[in-house]
Amino acid sequence: MPIVTINDQKFEFDSGETIIQVAERNGIDIPHYCWHPRLSVSGNCRMCLVEVEKMPKLVIACSTLAMDGMVVHVNSLKAIAGREHVMEFLLINHPLDCPICDEAGECKLQDYAYAHGTGESRFIEQKNQKPKRVKLGPYVMFDAERCIACSLCIRFSAEIAKEDQFTFVQRGDRVTIETFPGKEFDNPYSLNVVDICPVGALTNRDFRFKARVWDMSDTKSICPGCSRGCNIDIWVRNNEILRLTPRFNEAVNDYWMCDHGRINCFKFVNADDRIDSPMIKKAGTHVSSVGWDEAISKTVSTIKRFKSDEIAVIGSPFAIVEDNYLLAKFARQVLHTKNIDFIKHINPADQDDILIREDKTPNSLGAKLAGISPRNGGLNFEQIMEGIKGKKIRCLILIEDDVAAISQDFLDSLSNLDSFIVFATNNNKSTELADIIFPSATYAEKNGTFVNFQGRIQRIRPAVMTIDLDRSLDAMSLSRLDKFGTEFDRWGKARKINARSTWRIILQIANSFSMKFNYETSEDIFLEISQTIKEFDGLDYELIGELGIQLKSYQLVEEPILV
């Protein structure tokens, strides 16, 4: 293979690779603004200047092809001087507003000004004035004065989002970006331009001015918005989620995530309609002053009134594998019911060829593999609902879903139940009808796993604290949460929900039936799963890691019923 020398190190490369691609693959940093590994090369920022022996001038590493025998110097005096000149040029008209810029702490211009700038400017003339706080679309704000014309947003829109909505206008130091006349910057992936913008020119209107990056903790997790399972970072301040950002995983979502996931998949965690304690319906009214022991005791005594074939259990594709596994075990070993299934949330009209999937849940395959399906003549979801309508099913247990919201017919049928027990994170139509309600922890408050539509199992971790936080954390997460928990207590502002992981609630109910389920953590449950379900054989949390792992063997679930 051909060999290129970069900073006195020899590297093999494939024909067609550029200098910056070879350098990045081998851990050598070449400063850049306009280059991105998933976008076409524009070469207009000039920040990636390097010196190549036998070439008369500095070249830009992003568009210069590596050649066999080429010798590249990234940090020669000539290359350093070239980058200093580029930085001086870029800063000529840039406003000195770092203290109020949302990009502060994540800004390449700040970092490179420190690392590659001269520390002073020879420019004494009046800076160009450009538009500020321009609303490009529903989610993105534009500050033209900060823009360095890298064109990343233009190329992303055209090449990745497949929506060619941006263009450069004007020339020279007057150049700026605009949407096409009469058009908004509005596509399902618009907020990705905020991530790739190297400066503070493009900002997230939903997150704008809410917090500094250094005031937040970030936790690696999975987006629950659809069965893609995009890898994300959850950013938290004062025990409240403020934003979600994509986390690179080439096997799942690459560098991107959709706007729906960013905007709609975290606000319910700290919403006012969170269920904050167990509730029992008394005289037609939900009483929230009951404790966990009373609610569990009431649940046990209620369930004992029914025969096994009068009981049905509905699991959840929104719940983790561990929740669903323990629910299935509880249904079969304690309740002795075969009537168990989960609701499929499919919307074929809302999918695309980029990331968005028609299955609007994060764990349909995981729920199926965990045992949430009828066996040996048991009823499936539609049959369960028919059984409720015909008063053959008298007791229904529902976890982390809203069956009453599916249709008016289903809502009306639920009134036929003698007992309706619901595990939920937030109030919904089903909780309004429930006789007993248990507050479940959200995906951002517990440890566990999801399986995406490709059969890839991935970890979620708690980013915010509940009163009864599942302590099955790795040492780093535990240390971080304890640290921030101390700060929350000191500030006196943190809101901690009295919710528990669904598996832990099921565990307590099962043990009240004298069925001793001995699990201390969600990982204990997963270790049992890995020993009893062939698709999970040999797996553990450490092996799954931060990027997930493909299940050794699995069968995709059959085409689900549209609801």
**In this structure, how many other beta carbons lie within 10 angstroms of the beta carbon of residue 293?**
11
pLDDT tens for 9-39 read 999 999 999 999 999 999 999 999 999 999 9
Asked whether residue 492 carries a pLDDT value surpassing 60, the answer given is no
The whole-number pLDDT of residue 540 equals 96
The whole-number pLDDT of residue 182 equals 84
- pLDDT band (50, 70, 90) for residue 467: confident
Contact in structure between 337 and 384 (CB atoms under 8 Å)? no
Give the CA distances from residue 193 to residues 73, 111, 139, 185, 244, in Å, rounded to whole numbers and listed in that order.
31, 19, 11, 11, 14
The whole-number pLDDT of residue 470 equals 52
Asked whether residue 489 carries a pLDDT value surpassing 60, the answer given is no
Stretch among 101-115, 148-162, 399-413, 467-481 having the lowest mean pLDDT: 467-481
| φ and ψ of 439, to 5 deg | -80, 115
The whole-number pLDDT of residue 560 equals 39
Stretch among 35-39, 146-150, 287-291, 416-420 having the lowest mean pLDDT: 287-291
Q: Is 141 helix (H, G, I), strand (E, B) or coil?
A: strand
Q: What is the mean pLDDT of residues 321-345?
A: 97
- pLDDT band (50, 70, 90) for residue 468: confident
Ordered domains of the chain (ranges, CATH): 3-91 (3.10.20.740), 98-103+122-270 (3.30.70.20), 279-442+498-543 (3.40.50.740)
**In this structure, how many other beta carbons lie within 10 angstroms of the beta carbon of residue 236?**
26
The whole-number pLDDT of residue 558 equals 43
- The stretches of 28-119 forming alpha helices (DSSP H) are 77-91, 108-116
The whole-number pLDDT of residue 296 equals 96
**In this structure, how many other beta carbons lie within 10 angstroms of the beta carbon of residue 492?**
6
Quote the CA–CA distance of 93 and 389 in Å, as a whole number.
70
Task: Please choose, from the candidates 220, 243, 216, 241, the residue with its C-alpha nearest in 3D space to the C-alpha of residue 231.
Answer: 220
- pLDDT band (50, 70, 90) for residue 494: low
The whole-number pLDDT of residue 488 equals 46
The whole-number pLDDT of residue 482 equals 56
Asked whether residue 354 carries a pLDDT value surpassing 80, the answer given is yes
Torsion sign (Cα): 388, 391, 392, 397:
positive
DSSP state of 294: H
Contact in structure between 355 and 330 (CB atoms under 8 Å)? no
Asked whether residue 121 carries a pLDDT value surpassing 80, the answer given is no
Asked whether residue 140 carries a pLDDT value surpassing 50, the answer given is yes
Q: Is 196 helix (H, G, I), strand (E, B) or coil?
A: helix
Q: Could you tell me the pTM of the whole model?
A: 0.91
Task: Please choose, from the candidates 379, 302, 290, 380, the residue with its C-alpha nearest in 3D space to the C-alpha of residue 343.
Answer: 380
- For residue 411, give the H/E element and its range: helix 408-413
Stretch among 190-199, 275-284, 318-327 having the lowest mean pLDDT: 275-284
